[in-house]
């Protein structure tokens, strides 16, 4: 079942179709992001984690979502510009997606099925919900919006120390 994660089609911000296959063997921190949210400053913490651990195998993957009070209303190009100019983001930020409802992206269907969250509801509650995926493609942990990126450093270190 893990291999299915790597086959899910995703779209880069420039419109190119791809999959998560290029991240096989790496620890992934997958986050639904937004530019006009009270948690938007977490971009800085996500970038700090990426810079600190990317050489050891961490990749942060941002998926913009406009489902929470329309806090990501821009197009893919403006989102990229916002992330770069305001937070110096160098980790991949993909095309905008839905994370809940009938149009939820298959990636989020997979993540929510693997780690349903509070009371098994499966719903993403807000922007900046985080999923940690180990080197083998297993969804290791679901982390709530309010948890700052620095607070999950020990979890990341543990997954990075594990063999692929």
Structure tokens at 125: 């509650």
**Distance between first and last Cα of the chain:** 16
The residues, any chain, with a CB within 8 Å of residue 36's CB and separated by 6 or more, are 71, 72, 73
| Strands (DSSP E) found in the chain | 10-11, 17-18, 27-33, 58-64, 130-133, 139-143
Q: What's the rounded Cα separation, in Å, for the pair 130 and 78? A: 23
Bridge-partner residues for 18, per DSSP?
10
Structure tokens at 97: 């997606």
Q: Which of 10, 37, 132, 140 is catalytic?
A: 37
Q: Are 44 and 33 in contact (CB under 8 A)?
A: no
> Is 37 among the residues known to form the active site?
yes
Q: Maximum CA pair distance of the chain?
A: 40
Residues with a known catalytic role: 37
């Amino acid at each position: 079942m893990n291999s299915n994660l790597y086959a899910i089609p995703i779209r880069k911000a420039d419109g190119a179709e791809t999959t998560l296959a290029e991240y096989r063997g790496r620890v992934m921190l997958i986050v639904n992001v937004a530019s006009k949210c009270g948690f938007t400053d977490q971009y800085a913490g996500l970038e700090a984690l990426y810079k600190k651990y990317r050489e050891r195998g961490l990749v942060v993957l941002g998926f913009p979502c406009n489902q929470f009070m329309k806090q990501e209303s821009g197009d893919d190009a403006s989102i990229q510009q916002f992330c770069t100019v305001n937070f110096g983001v160098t980790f991949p930020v993909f095309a905008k997606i839905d994370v809940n409802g009938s149009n939820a992206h298959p990636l989020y269907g997979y993540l929510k099925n693997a780690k349903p969250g509070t009371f098994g509801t499966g719903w993403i509650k807000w922007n900046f919900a985080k999923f940690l995926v180990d080197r083998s493609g297993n969804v290791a942990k679901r982390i709530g919006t309010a948890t700052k990126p620095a607070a999950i450093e020990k979890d990341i270190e543990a997954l990075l120390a594990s063999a692929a």
